Amino acid sequence: MTILGIKLTHDAAIALIENGRLIFSYEMEKLNNSPRYSPFNITIDQVESILSEYGHSLKAIDKIVIDGWSIWELDNFSKSTNIEASIIKFNFLGKEVDITTKKVADYGHYVTSEENIMEPCHFSFYDQGLVYSSYLHVAGHVAAAYCTSPFAKKGEDAMVLVWDGGMPPQLFYFSYNENAVRNLGSLFPLLGNIYTNFSHAFKPFSEMPNSLSIAGKAMAYMALGKVNAQILQQYHKIFSDLTQGFDETELSKEIINTVTNQFITAAKQFSRENKFPDTDMLTTFQEFLQELLLEHLSAQWKRQPELTSNLCLVGGCALNIKWNNSIRNSPLIKHVWVPPFPNDAGNALGAACCEMLRSEGIRSLEWDVYSGPGLNESGLTDDATEGRNDFVCCDCRIEELAEILHKYNEPVVFLNGRAELGPRALGNRSILSPAHSSGMKKRLNEIKGREQYRPVAPICLEEYAPEVFSPGSPDPFMLFEHFVRKSWKEKVPAICHLDGSARLQTINNNENPVIYRLLRKYFEKSGIPLLCNTSANLNGSGFFPDVRSAMEWNKANLIWSDNKLYVKSTFVHFTDILQ
C-alpha cells in the first residue's frame, strides 16, 4: 500500500510511505529557498513530478492523508476554529479539483479521555470518487514519534509525551500488541507556546515582533542568565495559585489558555516590582518548566508503576535539548526517543503513519533521516559558473577537502545527497568549519546574520565523542545537551556555548559515510575529531536546494558538492587551492 501524507499549513510537507517504508518527506521550506514555516506551496503538477522521481504517480496512490489543523492567534488559542482546507486547488486527472469547502481534522488542543485520536475523519470529491482521510494533528505527532522509534522496531510499548505550541503536555500510551493508543491525560495546563510568549514579554525579545523564531533564540539566550532561587520559588507559587483546586475533568482549551496567559502576566508583574534582570527571569523560567515536566512525569509513573519506562518525546517543545537531557537522566525513565523532526515538520510523515497503523497494522516504519529533497540541477559548468564568474569550479575529493579545511581554517558550504528531515542540519546541508579558533563562532554567526550569543554545534566522530564531551553518548540528531570536557575547551572553543554546553551531533560510517570520511581525514591531519556545523540556508529560509543558491547568497568563499569545489575568485587563497 502507498500512502501520501500532506501537511497543508505552517511547516507544510509531503511524505510518501510504501509498504511500511518511507520513500521521501519533503518540507516546503526546503524547496526553492522557501521561507521557514511555509504553507503547502507547490502545484499538483509538482507533486506528480516528485512522485515520478520515485516511480510513483497520483493515480496509483492508495491513500491520501491530510494532517489536522485549526486557526488561532499566536497569543490566544481559545479562539481557534477548524481550518477550511483552502490551500489546494489543482487539476487532477484532467479535471479541476477544489477542496476549499472540505474540512480536515482538528488540531487536538486538548484531548479528552473519551476521544480516540487514531479515528480519522473522511471527505471526498463527489465527482471524482476520491476519499481523503484526516487525523488530529496530535495523532500525527504520536504516530511519527512511535513508528520511527527503536521501541516499535523491538515490538515494545512506549509512552508518548506530546507538547506542541497549541496544546498542554499530553501523555499517551502506545500498546504494540493492541496497536492502540490510550490517552493518559495532560500533565499540567500550560500551552507549549508559553515558551515563546513568555520570552516575548522580556528584553530583548519584547523589542521584536512575536514570532515562532523566538523560541530557538531564547533557548540560546538563556545561557546569559542565572537560575535565581527567589524567582524560581515565585514561579512555582504563581502556578500553584492559578491551579489550586484544579479538577482535571473540568479542563478545557479556554481554561488552559487562561492559565497560560495569566502566568505570563503575573511573572511580568513580579519582575517589575522586584527589578530582577530579564536574563535571570528567562533562565529561571526554563528551569521552572523543566522542574514542572519532571515533577508531573514522575507523578504519572508513581501512580501507575506498571507502565513501560520507554518514552517518546515529540512536539515543538521536544527541540529543547536541556529538557530532553533532564528527562533522559531521570531514574524513572530508562529509554528516551526523540525523532529528528519532533516539530510540525514531521507531521506529513506522521499523518501517513496514522494511516499505516490503522489500515495495515504496521507499527515500525523503515526510514532514514536523509530522505528529503535531492539537490537541484544548477546548470553549472565544471570550469566556471554560468552567470557567476566570481566562482571557479575544480575537482575536489573528500580527502582534499579535509586538507583545505585544516590548512586554511575556512568555512565551506557542504551540500551532499538528499537533505535531512527536520529543522537541524545534519551534515548534508551544512556549513562546516574548523573549531580550533575562538573567532570562528563569531564569524559563522556574522555570515549567518545571527546574534552573537547563538551557539554553533559540533559534528563529531561517534567513537571520539565521549573523549570530548560529557556524556558524549551517540546523538545523531542534535537533540540532547552535552558538555565540553575541560581538557577540550581550549582546543575547540568555537563549539562551546556560553554555559559550556554543546548541541552535539555524533556521526558513524553507517549513518553518513561521506561526512564520516571527511571527519576521519580531518582528524588524521588535525588531531581534532570534529568540525563546526551550522545550517546552510538563507536567513529565514530552508536549506539551500542547490549550489547556485549558495553562490547567490555570496557569504562563503568555498562551496563543496559532489566532489566539486567552487572557490570564490576574491578568496585570498584562490590561486593556491586551484593549483
The domains of the chain are located at 2-143+344-360, 154-337, 391-578
Q: What is the pLDDT at residue 72?
A: 59
For the residues of 389-408, what is the DSSP string, one character each? TTEEEEE--HHHHHHHHHHH
Sequence-ordered list of residues with C-beta below 8 angstroms from that of 510, at least 6 positions apart, any chain: none
Mean pLDDT by 10 residues, the chain (579 residues): 92 96 97 91 86 92 90 57 47 46 78 90 63 92 98 98 96 97 94 96 95 93 96 98 80 89 97 96 98 94 87 97 95 93 97 97 98 84 54 96 97 98 97 96 96 96 98 97 98 96 97 98 98 96 96 96 96 89
Burial class (CB in 10 A: 0-12, 13-18, 19+), 514: middle
Task: Please give the pLDDT value at position 91.
Answer: 41
Q: If residue 191 lies in a helix (H) or strand (E), which one and from where to where? A: none
Whether residue 196 contacts residue 165, with contact meaning beta carbons closer than 8 Å, is answered with yes
pLDDT at 246: 73
Helical ranges in 329-432 per DSSP H: 347-355, 398-408
- Tell me the sheet residues that pair with 167: none
Nearest alpha carbon to residue 20 among 2, 41, 42? 2
Specify the pairing of strand 505-507 against strand 457-461: parallel
Q: Is the peptide bond before 204 cis (omega within 30 degrees of 0)?
A: yes
Put simply, whether the predicted model's pTM sits higher than 0.85 gets the answer yes
Closest CA to 348 of 23, 110, 27: 27
- Bridge partners of 13, per DSSP, are 7, 27
| Confidence (pLDDT) at 320 | 97
Lookup: cell for 42: 507547490
481 neighbors 503 (Cβ within 8 angstroms): yes
CB burial of 114-131 (b: ≥16 within 10 Å; e: otherwise) equals eeebbebeebeeeeeebe
Residue 81's pLDDT is what?
Answer: 54
Can you give the length of the chain in residues?
Answer: 579
CATH T-level topology, domain 391-578: DHBP synthase (3.90.870)
pLDDT recorded at residue 377: 81
Q: Which three cell numbers stand for residue 545?
A: 536546494
Q: State the Cα–Cα distance between residues 159 and 142, nearest whole angstrom.
A: 9
pLDDT of residue 515: 98
What is the DSSP track for 110-160?
S--TT--TT--EEEEETTTTEEEEEE-HHHHHHHHHHHTSHHHHHT--EEE
25 vs 33: CA distance, rounded Å:
16
Domain 154-337 has CATH 3.30.420.40: yes
Beta strands 530-535; 429-433: pairing state? antiparallel
- Residue 75's pLDDT is 59
Provide the pLDDT for residue 94: 44
Q: Contact 29/419 with Cβ under 8 angstroms?
A: no
Q: Decide: 173 and 107 in contact? Cβ < 8 Å.
A: no
- The rounded radius of gyration (Å) of the Cα atoms in the chain is 24
522, amino acid identity: Y
The beta strands (E) that lie in 150-285 are given as 158-162, 170-175, 180-186
Same fold, 2-143+344-360 and 154-337: yes
Strand partners, 76: 73
The CA distances from residue 108 to 233, 253, 289, 542, in Å, are 32, 10, 22, 27
The β-bridge relationship of strands 158-162 and 310-314 is parallel
Report whether 541 contacts 453 (CB < 8 A). no
Is CATH 3.30.70 correct for 2-143+344-360? no
Picking from 484, 502, 496, 493, the residue whose alpha carbon sits closest to that of residue 437 is: 493
Do the beta carbons of residue 223 and residue 497 sit within 8 Å?
yes
Residue 287 neighbours by CB distance under 10 Å:
19
- In sequence order, what DSSP letters do the residues of 458-485 get, joined into one string? EEEEGGGHHHHEES----TTS-S-EEE-
